[in-house]
Amino acid sequence: MNFSEEFLQALSSARHVAVLTGAGISAESGVATFRDQDGLWQKFNPAELASMEGFMSNPALVWEWYQHRRGIIGGVEPNEGHKALAAMEQQFEKFTLITQNVDRLHQRAGSSAALELHGNLVENYCMDCRAVYHFADEKAELRENPRCRDCSGLVRPAVVWFGEMLPVETLRAAQIAAQDCQVFLSIGTSAEVMPAAGLPMIARENFAYVVEINPQPTVISGRVHSVIREPAGIALPRLLRELDQFRKSRV
Ligand code: APR
Domains, the chain:
5-31+78-118+166-249 (3.40.50.1220), 39-75+124-159 (3.30.1600.10)
Nearest Cα residue to 217 out of 24, 6, 3, 4: 24
What mean pLDDT is reported for the chain? 93
34 in contact with ligand 1, CB cutoff 6 A:
yes
- The answer for 119, left when phi > 0, alpha when psi is -120 to 50, beta otherwise, is left
Give the mutation target among 43, 69, 100 for probing the ligand 1 site: most ligand atoms within 8 A of CB.
100
Per-residue model confidence (pLDDT) at position 11: 98
Catalytic center residues: 118
Long-range contacts of 136-141 (CB under 8 A, 24+ apart): none
Over range 105-110, report the average pLDDT. Answer: 98
| Cα angle value 243/172/48 (rounded, 5°) | 100
Sort strands 183-187 and 209-213 into parallel, antiparallel or unpaired. Answer: parallel
22-70 pLDDT, tens per residue? 999 999 999 999 999 888 888 888 888 999 999 999 988 898 889 889 9
196-241 pLDDT, tens per residue? 999 999 999 999 999 999 999 999 999 999 999 999 999 999 999 9
State how far the Cα of 205 lies from the Cα of 141, in Å rounded to an integer.
50
- Kindly tell me if the per-residue pLDDT of 101 is higher than 90: yes
188 in contact with ligand 1, CB cutoff 6 A:
yes
The residue whose C-alpha atom lies closest to atom 15 belonging to ligand 1 is 190
- Asked whether 108 and 78 are in contact (CB, 8 A), the reply is yes
